[in-house]
Amino acid sequence: MHQIEPLIFEKSSPGRRCFTLPACDVPEKPITHLLPEKMIRKHAVKLPEVSEIDVVRHFTRLSQKNFCIDTNFYPLGSCTMKYNPKINEDTARLDGFTKLHPYQPVDQCQGILELLFDLEQLLVTISGMYAFTLQPAAGAHGELTGMLIIRAYLEKHGEKRRKIIIPDSAHGTNPASAALCGYEVESIQSNRDGLIDLKRLKSAVTKDTAALMITNPNTLGLFERDILDICKIVHDAGGLVYCDGANMNALLGIARPGDMGIDILHLNMHKTFSTPHGGGGPGAGPIGVTEKLKPFLPVPRIEMAEQSLKEGMNNTKHDKSATKTYVLNYQHPDSIGSVRAFYGHIGIMVRAYTYLLSLGKEGVCKVGEFSILNANYLRHKLIKYYDIPYGKTCMHEFVISAKKQREKGASALDIAKRLLDYGFHAPTIYFPLIVEEALMVEPTESESMETLNAFADAMIQIATDIEQRPEAIRNTPQTTPIGRPDEVKAAREPKLKWEKQ
């Protein structure tokens, strides 16, 4: 694990081969007879020349330099690093899903369309929204889709509102998505309890407010207790409410955004619905909307063919499902259009669907309950040693401020790095921006009491060490494959690809 692994290019040796292709079995012609010479590449692409064992060892060794959920506890706030069930990986890899071309006739794709249709309905039930699209590729992509829907809806009603209000505790993607859609961003300050300030909100909302973008529970791990009033204030002024569903894990079986007055909600499949993070994707960010916004959802929509539905109903003797057919419908004139090619991250949807089939009603409810229980338990264990500036209890996560420790000489970053030596991934640090020296901790429901105890012990030990010798914490991590990297050098003298010396 600690050995330096050379770059694959540095292992290259002329003539070495890994994979061999079958010989050409059609009559060959000189390539210059088939393609004009000026279009042909002059030099071969200098890809590494390596053998199969080189490739296998190289990437296996690289993998061993990673922390991952299967080896380490990952209390990353707002990232919901829950266990990724193995059965999901098996189902996602069935040939009937992986070897399916997006332009195959729909009658050859009824199984996957049924799955996607059903998954949309499951998300509707869990969230209380009216309809879902599965197309957005990630949470931020869902936000962009949501912003486009807001714009399209308002324009349809002859309104050109220019502003999106966003609390200062929001994820960075929120303002970036609003700006990408051409909106002006207005940040509002949270109140002393870390929640949306109703007075400030009232004075900020005007006829120019297109929407309020909130996160509930918010990034401090607190439920917006005034959510019903918040939505009313915005709705009364003719605006819409967008909810970032990054923290949806806390709400499973506990409360539904659709009941709160939320107009648009995105979900992160790679957080709430257990699909793997993959080292930074692919995730998926389906969005749910209210009835009045449904016509604006991206095309194509996955629909049950009407005719067959009627046939199914008339023909009660037969199994209804046998006559159901699903189609891809592009004929929605108010739709914002397509936000990506084809229909979404299907491989991720198969995993999320598998997860929901396994959990069922009881399991879904346990997710919310145990994610909240675990977070509060950990919060309770740490509050004597660390400052937790907001809330008396929390939902699925809480935010520590290491201000006290910073004064002693060790920052949030130092604490995060020291945790790596204990075999724990660091919490999210320096976010949300409204907490000084923030360490954001989200244990998820898939961790046991024993793991939480061990993590708390490590945190307590670190707090004690900081009291006694903070310099020892600053000098960490000691046990990881590399020490702290020089990030300034990386940014000042960018070296972004391998070049032959």
Partner 1 sequence: MVLKLRLLIKFFSLIVLLFIVSIFTLLTSKLFDGLLFIEKKSIMDYVPNTEGDKEKMLHEMGISSFEPLLEGIPKTLRNFSLKLPQGLSEPQVLKSLKYLSEKNTNTNQCISFLGAGAYEHYIPSLIDHLTFRSEFYTCYTPYQPEVSQGTLQAIYEFQSLMCELTSMDVANASMYDGSTAFAEAALLSIRLKEKNKIICSRATHPEYRHVLRTYLKGMGTEILEIDTPDGITDMNQLEGAIDDNTAAVLIQSPNFFGCIEDMEAISQIAHRHDTLFIACVNPISLGILKPPGEYDADIAVGEAQVLGNYLNYGGPYLGFFTVKKEFLRKMPGRIAGETVDHHGTRCFVLTLQAREQHIRREKATSNICTNQALLALRACIYLCTLGKKGLAELSRLNVQKSHYTYERLCTLDIFEPAFKQPFFNEFTIKSKSTLSIRKVNEHLIKKGIIGGLELSEYYPDLANSMLLCVTETKTKESIDQLIAELTSL
By CB under 8 A, is residue 333 in contact with partner 1? no
Q: Tell me which stretch binds partner 1 (CB under 8 A): 64-72, 207-215, 303-311, 402-410.
A: 64-72
Longest Cα separation, the chain: 79
Question: Are 254 and 369 a contacting pair, CB within 8 Å?
Answer: yes
Of 202, 196, 258, 263, the residue nearest 223 (C-alpha): 196
- Structure token digits, residue 20: 């061999």
φ and ψ of 241, to 5 deg: -120, 120
Q: Tell me which stretch binds partner 1 (CB under 8 A): 309-317, 400-408, 434-442, 491-499.
A: 491-499
Q: What is the rounded CA–CA span in Å between residue 57 and residue 335?
A: 49
Q: Among residues 337, 436, 457, 461, which is the contact residue for partner 1, using CB under 8 A?
A: 337
What are the Cα distances from residue 212, in Å, to 145, 196, 424, 486?
15, 11, 36, 39
Site for partner 1 in 178-237 (CB under 8 A): 178-183, 185, 222-223, 225, 227-228
Q: Among residues 192, 316, 495, 501, which is the contact residue for partner 1, using CB under 8 A?
A: 495
Which helix H or strand E contains 401, and what residues bound it?
Answer: strand 398-401
Closer residue to partner 1, CB minimum distance, 59 or 467: 59
Site for partner 1 in 453-482 (CB under 8 A): 477, 480-482
- Structure token digits, residue 7: 């770059």
By CB under 8 A, is residue 350 in contact with partner 1? yes
Closer residue to partner 1, CB minimum distance, 137 or 466: 137
Closer residue to partner 1, CB minimum distance, 81 or 131: 81
Closer residue to partner 1, CB minimum distance, 23 or 468: 23
Closer residue to partner 1, CB minimum distance, 42 or 192: 42
Q: Among residues 206, 281, 318, 436, which is the contact residue for partner 1, using CB under 8 A?
A: 281
Q: Among residues 84, 190, 249, 325, which is the contact residue for partner 1, using CB under 8 A?
A: 84
For residues 9 to 38, the per-residue mask of contacts with partner 1, x marking binding by CB under 8 A and - elsewhere, is x------xxxxxxx-xxxxxx-x--xxx-x
The residues pairing with 213 across neighbouring beta strands, listed in sequence order, are 242
For residues 124 to 153, the per-residue mask of contacts with partner 1, x marking binding by CB under 8 A and - elsewhere, is -xx-x--------xxxxx-xx--xx--x--
Site for partner 1 in 383-442 (CB under 8 A): 393, 395, 416-417, 420, 425-426, 431
Q: Tell me which stretch binds partner 1 (CB under 8 A): 123-131, 231-239, 309-317, 404-412.
A: 123-131
The minimum distance between CB 27 and partner 1, in angstroms, equals: 7
Q: Which residues contact 313 (CB under 8 A, 6 or more apart)?
A: 320
For 241, counting Cβ atoms within 10 Å of its Cβ (0-12 exposed, 13-18 middle, 19+ buried), the class is buried
Q: Tell me which stretch binds partner 1 (CB under 8 A): 205-213, 309-317, 374-382, 403-411.
A: 374-382
Closer residue to partner 1, CB minimum distance, 248 or 356: 356
Q: What is the rounded CA–CA span in Å between residue 164 and residue 240?
A: 10
By CB under 8 A, is residue 160 in contact with partner 1? no
By CB under 8 A, is residue 78 in contact with partner 1? no
Strands (E), 205-277: 209-215, 240-245, 264-267
Closer residue to partner 1, CB minimum distance, 407 or 498: 498
The residues pairing with 76 across neighbouring beta strands, listed in sequence order, are 441
Q: Among residues 213, 264, 359, 458, which is the contact residue for partner 1, using CB under 8 A?
A: 359
The minimum distance between CB 236 and partner 1, in angstroms, equals: 18
Q: What is the rounded CA–CA span in Å between residue 446 and residue 288?
A: 26
The residues pairing with 287 across neighbouring beta strands, listed in sequence order, are 133, 266
Count CB neighbours of 203 within 10 A: 10
Q: What is the rounded CA–CA span in Å between residue 171 and residue 285?
A: 15
By CB under 8 A, is residue 119 in contact with partner 1? no
Q: Tell me which stretch binds partner 1 (CB under 8 A): 67-75, 235-243, 309-317, 401-409.
A: 67-75
Closer residue to partner 1, CB minimum distance, 198 or 314: 198
Q: Provide the residue type at 487 as one letter.
A: E
Count the residues of the shown chain that bind partner 1, applying the rule CB under 8 A: 200
Residue with token string 């098996």: 90
Q: What is the rounded CA–CA span in Å between residue 335 and residue 361?
A: 33
By CB under 8 A, is residue 156 in contact with partner 1? no
Q: Among residues 188, 447, 455, 466, which is the contact residue for partner 1, using CB under 8 A?
A: 447
Q: Is 304 left (phi over 0), alpha (psi -120 to 50) or beta?
A: beta
Question: Are 406 and 412 a contacting pair, CB within 8 Å?
Answer: yes
Q: What is the rounded CA–CA span in Å between residue 404 and residue 464?
A: 12
Question: Are 266 and 225 a contacting pair, CB within 8 Å?
Answer: no
Closer residue to partner 1, CB minimum distance, 12 or 467: 12
By CB under 8 A, is residue 322 in contact with partner 1? no
